[in-house]
Chains A and B, each alone.
Chain A
């Protein structure tokens, strides 16, 4: 079975700082990878996804993530964060074949200080 680790539980940054949130997964086969974001009081929404091809994927609101297969990682990055990026971020993995079950990490709470 697959699993996802997000090692940063709570990250606090000042506005304009650069962001990198770690995500590592465990699975023996080909996977699809996702980052979801949950803004305060809002529903979970998709930030970006990786299915195949270019390992550097760009998402909404200036976020990007890089899939490094050899490291089983899919870290989320943003060069300059804004106060409005304050939210909880979840990494998720889905095996490429099978029942399309998503497995989520425990989430990283991001607080941006104005």
Chain B
């Protein structure tokens, strides 16, 4: 069954800690995306990658980092520099051509202890 797997579903972080959110897809999609969802603000793009070993900043990249070493995987690290990390994080993927719709994972809810 093809899809996008995000783990964990819930994540807690202490102040000053970095934390990494996992995103794996088996859809053979070239493009992958990370969004942050806050109440009343919709989804905002953090980082995206259209091909392995390449990624670009989105609209709110400060305090985040990513890597794309494999086609299937696009982990997001929330660093201690992110001042307001509590949010719902969504990963998405798309074929990467023809302006096709993005497919979304179930999300990870990050909370600060």
Specify whether A and B are partners: yes
Query: Using a CB–CB distance below 8 Å, which chain A residues touch chain B?
Result: 4, 6, 9, 32, 34, 36, 42-46, 49, 51, 90, 94, 96, 99-107
Q: Which of B31, B41, B96, B101 interacts with A34 by CB under 8 Å?
A: B101
In the complex with contacts A43-B107, A44-B90, A102-B40 CB distance below 8 A: no
Q: Are A101 and B45 in contact, CB atoms less than 8 angstroms apart?
A: yes
B interface size (C-beta, 8 A): 25
Smallest CB gap from A42: residue in B: B106
Q: How far is the CA of A103 from the CA of B103 in the complex (A)?
A: 15
Question: Does chain A have a CB within 8 A of B50?
Answer: yes
Query: Using a CB–CB distance below 8 Å, which chain B residues touch chain A?
Result: 31, 33, 35, 40-45, 48, 50, 56, 58, 90, 92, 94, 96, 99, 101-107
Instruction: Please name all residues of chain A whose beta carbon is closer than 8 Å to the beta carbon of B99 when the two chains form the complex.
Output: 32, 51, 94, 96, 100
Q: How far is the CA of A9 from the CA of B102 in the complex (A)?
A: 23
Q: Which of A32, A43, A46, A100 interacts with B106 by CB under 8 Å?
A: A43
Instruction: Please name all residues of chain B whose beta carbon is closer than 8 Å to the beta carbon of A90 when the two chains form the complex.
Output: 42-43
Q: Are B43 and A99 in contact, CB atoms less than 8 angstroms apart?
A: no
Instruction: Please name all residues of chain B whose beta carbon is closer than 8 Å to the beta carbon of A94 when the two chains form the complex.
Output: 99
